[in-house]
Amino acid sequence: MTSFPFASYIVAAAFAVAAITMIAGALIAVLSKRIIRGVGGLMICCIGLAGLYYFLQSPFLALMEILIYVGAVCVTIVFGVMLSEPDEPKPTDRVADLFGAIPIRSGRFGLWGAAAAFLVCTLIGIGIARLSLGGPWPVAPARVSDGSVAAIGIALLTTYSLAFELISLVLLLAILGALVIARSGRTKPPSTAHDQLGILAAQVTAPAPPSDTHPLVSTTAGHEPETAPR
């Protein structure tokens, strides 16, 4: 790279592209009123962040950022939005447009709320700035491991094993919660004892799926949805 003319400028430009992408994505995510555009901004922000990770010599982290945050988290958010509400933005006045997402029209808190939020943000910003500028940096930023699969696996199962196990516990709980939520609406609660008996009888005497059908079909023959395309 050193022999190439303007190499350092190219590297600086690439860094600038990553940083600007991240900041622009974050601004879009915060300022846009359509929630889907906000998620799009979040996605752009994550891609920029991945670029910054790459500059910090962590290609594995950069790629995981894209795989998980863009490929999974953003997709999940959009999916949730799609299933929940239409995102037609409500008509707002000019002042609110100027200030983006700040809800100036709301009567009781109005500008005071915005001012308080600004104050809190400023305090947090000053605190973080003081910490990062004044506090000691004990370890110089350096490459910890070679980023290979083996190194990451060893780190996950030795140094960070507690965090690893906690994350797996959280994920397990999430799966169980999803199962509970999904199962709760599936079977109609029987209203009377008679109905309950009837359902039980139907379950006991339900005919086995015909054996001459395709194996894929037979696995689902029990609970075919009513709206299945014929």
Contact residues for another protein, defined by CB under 8 A = 1, 3-4, 7, 10, 34, 36-37, 40, 43, 59-60, 63-64, 66-67, 70-72, 74-75, 78-79, 82-83, 147-150, 216-217, 219-220, 224-225, 228-229
Question: Which is nearest to 65 in space by CA: 48, 85, 88?
Answer: 48
In whole angstroms, the minimum distance from the beta carbon of 198 to another protein comes to 26
In whole angstroms, the minimum distance from the beta carbon of 204 to another protein comes to 23
In whole angstroms, the minimum distance from the beta carbon of 93 to another protein comes to 22
Nearer to another protein, 68 or 128 (CB): 68
Q: Any idea of the CA torsion for 104, 108, 113, 114, to the nearest 10 degrees?
A: 10
In whole angstroms, the minimum distance from the beta carbon of 77 to another protein comes to 10
Nearer to another protein, 68 or 200 (CB): 68
Tokens for 226, please give them: 């009513």
Q: How far apart are the first and last CA of the chain?
A: 62
Nearer to another protein, 34 or 105 (CB): 34
In whole angstroms, the minimum distance from the beta carbon of 104 to another protein comes to 24
Nearer to another protein, 66 or 96 (CB): 66
Nearer to another protein, 13 or 197 (CB): 13
Residues 6+ apart with CB under 8 A from 75: none
